[in-house]
Amino acid sequence: MTPLVSIIMGSTSDLPILSKAADFLEKMEVPFEMNALSAHRTPDEVERFARGARDRGLKVIIAAAGMAAALPGVIAAMTPLPVIGLPINSTLSGQDALYSIVMMPPGVSVATVGINAGLNAAVMAVQILALEDKALAERFDNYRSGLKEKIVNANRELDKLDYKFKSNGGF
């Protein structure tokens, strides 16, 4: 099975955050791969990966990095594929990584999710892939319906809470 999404992390210390992305891709039945690459420590491997990504059948790349966070931008500079940048909170509350990833020069874009938002990176990847895959779009629609149902159920539970000055049925 050819992977459609590549999850790239600057270090395996990022795995707890990237596992949320992997879990969601697994749930959505999207083939993916995971690798550790560093824009600073393994630049030749990053270039080989990025330049060959489309030819290998990949459709979307999730690239996570902290601190200087060059990895997503370097990959985006060398592939026409969409790159989703995932800033990792390693210093400065992750703001250094966020700014590094989101502030790309014109013509080289990286779609960026929130700090440590591994799940949202995978959600965005699925949304991109679902544009051309009706079965995946249906699985994603079911997922989104489930999110709505969680909130509806939460409101039912909140209505049951009894406080002297609380009124029910706010809207």
Binding annotation for substrate: 11, 14, 41
Structure tokens at 163: 């406080």
* Of the candidates 4, 20, 18, the residue with the CA atom closest to the CA atom of residue 131: 4
Give the annotated binding-site residues. 11, 14, 41
In the chain, DSSP assigns E strands to: 5-9, 32-36, 60-66, 83-88, 111-112
At a CB cut-off of 8 Å and minimum separation 6, what does 37 contact? 8, 9, 10, 45, 46, 49, 71
